[in-house]
Amino acid sequence: MVNKLIASVLPLLPKKFVWLFSKRYISGETLEDAVSASKGLAAHGVRVTIDHLGEYIRELSQAEEVKAVYLSMIERFENEGISATYSLKPSSFGLLLDFETCYSHVREIIEKAKEYNSFVRIDMEDSSCVDAEIGLYRRLLNEFPLNVGLVVQAYLKRTPKDLEYLASIHSIETPVNIRLCKGIYVESPEIAIKDRKAINKQFIEALDFLFRKQVYVGIATHDRELTNSAEELIEQYSLGEGDYEFQMLYGVTPELRTNLVKKGHKMRVYVPFGKEWFGYSTRRLKENPKLAFYIIKALFKHG
């Protein structure tokens, strides 16, 4: 309860204070910071996916600016020879303002990634975006079957049906590629599961379903219970490196990450950067109030 109280209060405090928490989970504000962090991870056998922070733009003109960042980002990482993919939030390209404009911008980014035989992941956002983002993915999958993927959130009650649909369009010609995560947006109990055990159950059922349908999965979790269950399924289905990978957030559970890499699992870390770090950080805090303890500890340790 104390941690939850702290977590609810911290977003109201000065940004310099919240940065005590944030700096561990964000590579920095600039592209240079993301490049540096990615090189450090690569030295330990870890791949990366890069995300420019920011979402829910209010004017379509902002989408042009975000697109320019992504095009520059792809050029930089590919020229540096860093093994990277790219994650983007459609709301930062105007998804909720004009679908066709968003599609056009995202398509241009994926086309750029395709030039380097690289890959773009469409992040899943709150429930107001789900249908549109699945539709966006479906349309782009037809054009770029090897260069685009989607995120699915296990805590949504609609997820099993969404996975059935995605499995129905999966084929050799258009292979579906999914990042499976728990989900972090605050949703009503009418549409989202709230109990941790029930979320974990749906996560594993979803993972088992995707493995049976031979869909490539990015297993995105820091929950040791889930990584253990995932490893059991991987062994059960005799899966290889080309069938799955584990994915984790920058700065979160590095010990578990290292352990999975040592076991020979493919690992990819989500590396965020940008000036819009505040919203991302406070969402992470609401998702895991226990992190508040570490913020208070840092405050007393560093002053």
* Contact present, 274 and 54 (Cβ < 8 Å): yes
Whether 120 contacts 110, CB under 8 Å: yes
- In angstroms, rounded to a whole number, what is the distance separating the alpha carbons of residues 273 and 287? 19
Q: What is the set of active-site residues?
A: 123, 179
What's the chain look like in SS3? CHHHHHHHHHHHCCHHHHHHHHCCCCCECCHHHHHHHHHHHHCCCCEEEEEECCCCCCCCHHHHHHHHHHHHHHHHHHHHCCCEEEEECHHHHCCCCCHHHHHHHHHHHHHHHHHCCCCEEECCCCCCCHHHHHHHHHHHHHHCCCCEEEEEECCECCHHHHHHHHHHCCCCCCCCEEEEECCCCCCCCCCECCCHHHHHHHHHHHHHHHHHCCCEEEEECCCHHHHHHHHHHHHHCCCCHHHEEEEEECCCCHHHHHHHHHCCCCEEEEEEECCCHHHHHHHHHHHCCCHHHHHHHHHHHHC
Distance between CA atoms of 220 and 90, rounded to whole angstroms? Answer: 19
Is residue 270 within 8 Å of 49, Cβ to Cβ?
yes
